[in-house]
Chain A
Amino acid sequence: MKTDTVRLALSSRRTFLGGMGAAGVLALGALPPLFLARAAEQNKTNRDGKILVLLQLAGGNDGLNTVIPHANAEYYRQRPSLAVGKGAVLKLNDELGLHPQLAGIKSLHDDGMLSIIQGVGYPNPNRSHFRSMDIWHSARPDEEITRDGWMGRAMDAASEQLAGRVPALALGTDRLPLALVANRVTVPTVKSLKDYQLSEGKGNAKDQQRRRKLIAELAQTPAKGTSDLDFLRRTAVTAIQTADKIAATTANYKPAKPYPQTGLGQRLQTLTQLITADIGPQVYFVSLDGFDTHSDQAGAHNALLGELGGAVQAFFADLKAHGLAERVLLATFSEFGRRVKENGSLGTDHGAASQIFLVSAGLKATIHGKHPDMHDLDEGDLKHHTDFRQVYATLLEQWLGWPSQPALLGKFAQLKLS
């Protein structure tokens, strides 16, 4: 009976995992001893390795009002109400400039830490938030059902190198981002450090301790059930181990300078705390939401870009003070840019190609590629010239030193990072 269950689960693995953000099939019937051995080994850290921070701008950031072609008449013609005046743009060169709220990013540029990759997208762009975000996360534009993420597959392929470390961590998100969903490793999601602890409940101290220990043991006790039960048990084990580790890290972290009192500012401060505590992950995921600016865009977009610029600037100032600015690379992405022509409600609708920011002191700062042609549009949207998977391949191979083909299921031409 039991072997039948296992075989069934294997043969229909695709169905079990499809669309559910599954963390995989490491254990089907019981947790294999290997997993426990690895778990025991998890004191390993990532003391000198590179760290990648993925910063998601959710909702579809208006790239055209982020990196602005201030010398382009067509930009001003298509955006009569929303265009940023030439005088207000923070100029990077004769053609391009940053939105005035991005003073923080501009200062990183002036310090030689900012690269911009222009015109990033993918063929046949999808304008649904959810689908397009899925595509960016899964890096599989042609698969309708996406069951794992590009970084998840990369971690699976690098799992030998990772040697039982917690490979990645999502911070402040409500769910594990699809990008980090893997089949062989389980990635923790930490909403806030304060809440990431296992409470002991009431009663006498001895019973409390026994329960604390038993909660961890019961999660690992073999049980027969659905693949969802295995998923729950694996997640519980990762959760408890990571909580122990976070609790054990000394609280001697202090930010070099105060971070802005914004959501992203606070998340990036926590992230620095985790990085300095050296608990292991090489990949961190954070998100800034609210970029879906269909109407009255200016106010909301100003605030979001201000939050972005201020937080990222403080983050790198702090990393620098801790001697980490060369080890950490932050990369932004969004599911799409927005339509070139503004709509009738002082906003913009879903578009296509946009840009990616890369920030690090360990990079050669440059602008990759040209601004997309403002006259050669695809259904009113900017056309991409750089596939986002090229950027992923570059980050995996040149920054993390992980093979990109298993992650991207194909070979993509890379950009030159340094």
Chain B
Amino acid sequence: MSVEKPSGSLAPVDWQQRKWSRADAKHLLWRTQFGASAEQIARTHTDGSAKSLERLFSLQPESTAFVAADELLRRAAMDTDSPASLKAWWLHRLFHSANPLPEKMALFWHNHFATSIAKVRSASAMAAQNDLCRREALGSFRRLLHGMTQDGAMLVWLDGNANRRRHANENFAREIMELFALGEGHYSEKDIKEAARAFTGWHVREGQFWFNRDQHDFGIKTVFGKMGDFDGSAVVDLCLAQKACPRFLATKLLRAFVLPQPAEAIVAAVAARVRAHDFAMGEVLRELLASELFHSDEARGALIKSPIELALGALRALEGQPNLRAVHAVTTLLGQDIFQPPTVKGWEGGRLWITSASLLQRANFAATLTGSNQLGAINAPEISARKTDTTPAQIVAHYTDLLLARPPAPETRQRLESYAAASTGETAERIRGLLHLIMAMPEFQLM
């Protein structure tokens, strides 16, 4: 299938015309993985945009150590059926996988199809759903949506078994339209009632999808003005054919990867790309990440980090080895407990991550990370090895460049420099204090 190239602000940046900078490399990495170390930024800067995107979008071999740890953690989660172990398993992948973008997109889909282990109560069912999110992470939303409607965990989550012939339960049909495919306002109450009939008998048995023929309503239904003896699959296809569907996905993708409040025209343009690529979301994302829009000044530092982006990102930037249980605890405190989203709407993100309480906790996270090894040892040798004759200004410049999406305001820089100059004790301790300050700043919450 040939697809026309995107144009306007979605057109790719011409790197012959514009210089690929370190800041561009850092921007790309923070948006496509969880934070970036100085070394990764340097390599991505050297590689340039095209090569870096190729690396992000092609499957990289995992190390033997990673594979061994991954298998061990997963088996522990399965054998103990423990939510905490399951969460540790995924956090390990999110941080250590050689394929960070598929993991990040799997998290994006987990949020989109927000399902909670609190109700599903099965580590294996949650892991199976997670595998589906990962398999289609950069794949087809069409397959993903079809897969989700027959996913064991999802059917438990949305009361599939309660949906029976003559006793239709609307929960499943409603959420498919409102939260998974179309968004509120793009369907009628009648559509929901009729679609619920199409999903009757879509049950779950021993953790697996099971078509309970006796409980399926084979009658004629009317959905979006179309009549037929629809079943669940047919309703999914009808949803995918709606105009609202690509728009809904475009908005979510833009908010997660580019801008918090994309203009109407941008949403429409990205929606057109979703349709042009027939829901091949990896293709759409790849175009987005190469676009003028993504590399515009407006998009730089425009997103508020999620708790996982904040915690794992800080650990990555400071070359720490995360303590998975402790990282899980802190991200939960900050409002993002993976495998356990608060509602079927998932984490709405953006400003909704931030309350005065969570902002205090974000600052306290910086204090814990720099003041102890509780969350994982950050690279203190690297810090203390820095030449003692380095000036406070150089140290501040180094770490603000590493940690902040945009250069700090001059007054902020001066305050940090005078703190660094006046602090006392071992160099490593003084730098840890400075890192605490930088990461407690409102600026560090942005990427």
Contacts and interface: CB of A to CB of B under 8 A. Distances in A.
B140 interface: no
A242 B360 CA distance: 11
Contacts of A188: 355-357
A221 B355 contact: no
A207 interface: yes
A243 B364 CA distance: 13
Given A131-B184, A223-B408, A242-B356, A22 B351 contact: yes
A201 B355 contact: no
B429 A226 contact: no
Contacts of B361: 195
A229 B355 contact: no
A176 B446 contact: no
A147 to B, nearest CB: 11
A413 to B, nearest CB: 29
B371 A295 contact: no
A204 B424 contact: yes
B154 to A, nearest CB: 15
Contacts of B432: 202-203
A218 B437 contact: yes
Interface in A107-150: 127-131, 144
- Interface footprint category on A: 35 or more
Contact of B164 (A198, A201, A206, A344): A344
Contacts of A294: 159, 162, 169, 171
Contacts of B445: 232
B412 A225 contact: no
Given A196-B360, A215-B363, A236-B359, A203 B425 contact: yes
B352 A21 contact: yes
Interface in B156-194: 159, 162, 164, 166-171, 174, 178, 184-185, 189
Contact of B370 (A16, A202, A343): A202
B193 to A, nearest CB: 9
Nearest to A58: B343
- Interface footprint category on B: 35 or more
A417 B412 CA distance: 52
B406 to A, nearest CB: 7
A223 B443 contact: yes
A174 interface: yes
A200 interface: yes
A197 B357 CA distance: 8
Contacts of B419: 210-211, 214
Interface of A: 15-16, 18-23, 127-131, 144, 170, 173-176, 186, 188-191, 195-204, 206-207, 210-211, 214-215, 217-219, 221-226, 228-229, 231-233, 235-236, 238-240, 242-243, 294-295, 343-345, 347, 349-350, 379
12 contacts: A20-B260, A173-B355, A174-B335, A186-B356, A202-B372, A218-B412, A225-B443, A232-B304, A232-B354, A239-B357, A243-B360, A345-B159
**In the complex, the 6 A-B pairs of residues with the closest C-beta atoms, listed nearest first:** A344-B167, A202-B371, A189-B355, A239-B356, A201-B367, A232-B442
